[in-house]
A and B are shown apart, each in its own frame.
Chain A
Amino acid sequence: MRTKDFAYWLFLAPVLIALTLVVVVPMLLGVYYSFTSWNGINTGEFVGFQNYIDLFKDERFLDSLWFTTKFSVISVILINFIGLSLALIVTSRIKSSSLLRTTFFMPNLIGGLILGFIWQFIFIKVFASVGEMVGMESLQGWLSTTETGFWGLVILMSWQMAGYIMVIYIAYLQGLPKELLEASEIDGASSFQRFRYIVFPLVAPAFTVSMFLTLSNTFKLYDQNLSLTGGGPYNSTEMVAMEIFKTAFMQNAFAYAQAKAVIFFVIVAIIALLQVYWNKRREVEM
């Protein structure tokens, strides 16, 4: 028994040590720092909950939190909608489906920063030129307002992640037994009814995976935010990650930023756990 215990811990040790060093310790240290007045150089003194009290009165932080939430909700819906639609297209019996699959997946292979700059060019230059040609005023001055900045980010994110989410839906769609679809066809279902009553409920488990991935990705977005709008105009498209970064490295309020990061972590964790819980429960019910 003893040797078995020893072997057990021996094999577990590398992971445990690594996890402790890079996750647990920094996390605990971080939480500790959030109760101090650390400025990046001096640990400073213990200030209790002052940082936390301050951040709930910090409008810039609360704005960024609200902006991030709005952005996430809309992006998650759009990404999943587009991803599922793309998956349905490429799993239908069309000729060029493997070419399309690759194409749709491509944006994922491009880094977020570069993607941001590409879309910045599209939104500012291409949109403007097209707008001029067709005479649509609304295509002018993209990214220069909060509104267009917001939708710019949503479009960028959807474009990037939809292909990735598509792959997940494809896996589930291809796992659907062919006979079920045939049975529904014989039962008299039109293609829309087939989707509504058979395909959609049966790929529901994919929502759990996809929503978790999209939600955590959109909530923690930083690169694309930085390269597309840089948070502008007037910090109005600043998301939480960027806001925290700026608090720490521009204002040198490290402890304060740390407190925000802790709150951010708690929010993301709660959302992620809740939605996994809800989706799982729905799956079991089916």
Chain B
Amino acid sequence: MAKLLMDQLTKTYDNKVTAVENFNLTVEDEEFIVFVGPSGCGKSTTLRMIAGLEDISSGTFSIDGKKMNEVQPKDRDIAMVFQNYALYPHMTVYENMAFSLKLKGMPKAEIKDRVRNAAEILGLMDYLNRKPKALSGGQRQRVALGRAIVRDAKLFLMDEPLSNLDSKLRVQMRTEISKLHQRLKTTTIYVTHDQTEAMTMATRIVIMKDGVIQQVGTPKEVYDQPDNVFVAGFIGSPAMNFFNGRIEGNYFVMGQTKLLIPDSALPEGLDNQEVIIGLRPEHITHKPVKDESTVEVNLDVVELMGSEYMVYATLEGHSFVGRVDANLDLAAGTVFPMAFEMDKARFFNPTTEKRIR
């Protein structure tokens, strides 16, 4: 149970690389926070500062109001799961999980209780006497989780815990970790580069780029109301489509194409301004009735995904993806009227790439 405060956290490495800059975040008790961003954006560095494995260059980090900057990792009461499991190869599964408790000087019987309890939750009862090398990737990851659970720590930190697993197992473990969190309610910070994991697991997502927070919000917020082009493009799969053009009256104009924007959706003062608009694939689709935001496009690629098609096409030099119900008959190379749901469009400033509301 912990409330975290990160105030202006900054990390500059010896080689003058600033990995994290001005990181501000408050984490409430029982939250499941996900740090997400492309590789090298400073997620691990931030997590390691929280763990105490990396010195904080400036700023403060506190747990429950107590400043932690100078506190040793072992005294922070945190548990951490590493990407490559970091299981002790010379210890059995049981010993791996019991290690931290043993160091605390906990009585043997209680250790046994706790380890068995964790092993039961994680389905590891049959493997307690095995060494890590005799386990599969998924089992190893469970042991790593178990090692964190038995601690009953204030805070769980996980650095890309699933990225060494195959995709099927990854989905399965994702749900297991979510369930675990619902059960234990321990405040958790989870690092991943995979936006799907972020969207499915987080109570709040922190999106980072080049060491700077881009946006903090619930999965729904960052999906529906992205603050800038980076967030809009990073969250969601397939990614949001972007079109560069200008606003003329109530129309978005690019080249020969004009798309009508409903009054309610158009931010004020954009007339005659260059903008980027963003539309999610589900908002470029088929409508039975054509209107002023329907455009005939040549379909480059059509992928049937079962219940719907992913449609790849090009409009005025912008490639985009749309989604169309699978009831229709679509084929690549044909011309098809695509409806752009301009009421769902997001507007961005083309120079700052910030959202215009």
Give chain A's interface residues, CB within 8 Å of chain B: 177, 179-180, 182-190, 193, 197-198, 201-202, 286
* CB <8 Å contact, A185 and B73: yes
Contact at A182–B90, with CB atoms within 8 Å? no
B residues within 8 A CB of A185? Answer: 53, 72-74
Point out the residues of chain A lying under 8 angstroms from B99, CB to CB: 184, 187, 189, 197
Contact of B86 among A183, A188, A193, A286 (CB under 8 A): A183
CA distance A286 to B147 in the complex (A): 19
Are the C-beta atoms of A179 and B90 separated by less than 8 Å? no
B103 lies within 8 A of chain A by Cβ:
yes
CB of B57 closer than 8 Å to a CB of A: no
Q: Which of B28-36, B76-84, B209-217, B336-344 contacts A (4 or more CB under 8 A)?
A: B76-84
Q: Is the CB of A186 within 8 A of B90?
A: no
> In the bound complex, do residue A183 and residue B80 qualify as a contact, i.e. CB atoms below 8 Å apart?
yes
Contact of B88 (CB < 8 Å), options: A182, A186, A190, A198: A198
Q: Which residues of B contact A (CB under 8 A)?
A: 51, 53, 72-74, 78-80, 82, 84, 86, 88-90, 99-100, 103-104, 131, 147, 151
Interface of B is mostly: mixed
- Chain A positions within 8 Å of B89 at CB level: 180, 202, 286
Bound: A190/B105 CA distance, A: 13
Q: A184-B88, A198-B88, A201-B90 are contacts. A189–B82 as well, Cβ < 8 Å?
A: no
Task: Specify which chain B residues have a CB less than 8 angstroms from the CB of A183 in the assembled complex.
Answer: 80, 82, 86, 88, 147
Which 5 A-B pairs have CB atoms at the shortest separation, nearest pair first? A179-B86, A187-B100, A183-B86, A286-B90, A188-B74
Out of A186, A197, A201, A202, which one reaches B79, CB within 8 Å?
A186
B102 to chain A, nearest CB (A): 9
Contact partners of B103 in chain A: CB under 8 A: 187-189, 193
Query: Given contacts A185-B73, A187-B99, A187-B103, is CB(A179)–CB(B84) below 8 Å?
Result: yes
With both beta carbons as reference points, the residue of chain B lying nearest to A201 in the complex is identified as B90
Roughly how many angstroms separate A193 CA and B72 CA in the complex, as a whole number?
A: 15
Other 13 A-B pairs with CB < 8 A, given A177-B84, A182-B73:
A182-B51, A183-B86, A185-B53, A185-B73, A186-B74, A186-B78, A186-B79, A186-B80, A187-B103, A189-B99, A189-B103, A201-B90, A202-B89
- Report chain B residues within 8 Å CB of A187: 74, 99-100, 103, 147, 151
User: Do B73 and A180 touch across chains, with their CB atoms under 8 A apart?
Assistant: no
Which B residues lie within 8 Å of A201 (CB)?
90
How far, in angstroms, from A188 to B104 measured CA to CA in the complex? 8
With a cutoff of 8 Å between Cβ atoms, the chain A residues found around residue B131 in the complex are 286
Q: Cβ of A186 and Cβ of B84 under 8 Å apart?
A: no
A179 to B132 Cα, complex, angstroms: 15
Query: How long is the Cα–Cα vector from A201 to B93 in the complex, in angstroms?
Result: 16
A190 and B74 contact, CB distance less than 8 A: yes
Task: Give Cα distance in the complex from A110 to B90, angstroms.
Answer: 39
With A186-B73, A198-B88, A202-B89 known as contacts, the answer to whether A179 contacts B82 (CB < 8 A) is yes
- What residues on B are CB-neighbors of A286 within 8 Å? 89-90, 131
**In the complex, residue of chain A having the shortest beta-carbon distance to the beta carbon of B79:** A186
Complex alpha-carbon distance, A177 and B84, angstroms: 10
The residues of A that contact B80 with a CB separation of less than 8 Å are: 182-183, 186
Minimum CB–CB distance from A130 to chain B (whole Å) comes to 42
Closest-by-CB residue of A relative to B153 is A186
List of B residues within 8 angstroms of A193 by Cβ:
103
Q: Closest CB-CB distance, B254 to chain A, in whole Å?
A: 50
Q: How far is the CA of A201 from the CA of B89 in the complex (A)?
A: 10
Q: List the A side residues contacting B88 at CB < 8 Å.
A: 180, 183-184, 197-198
Q: How far is the CA of A180 from the CA of B53 in the complex (A)?
A: 12
Q: Which of B72, B86, B100 is most buried by chain A, counting CB atoms within 10 A of its CB?
A: B86
Taking A182-B82, A189-B103 as contacts, is the C-beta distance between A202 and B90 under 8 angstroms?
yes
A226 to B356, CA, bound (A): 89
A142 to B151, CA, bound (A): 57
Smallest CB gap from A180: residue in B: B86
Question: Given the complex, which residues of A lie within 8 Å of B79, measured CB to CB?
Answer: 186
Interface core residue of A186, A187, A189, A197 (most chain B CB under 10 Å): A186
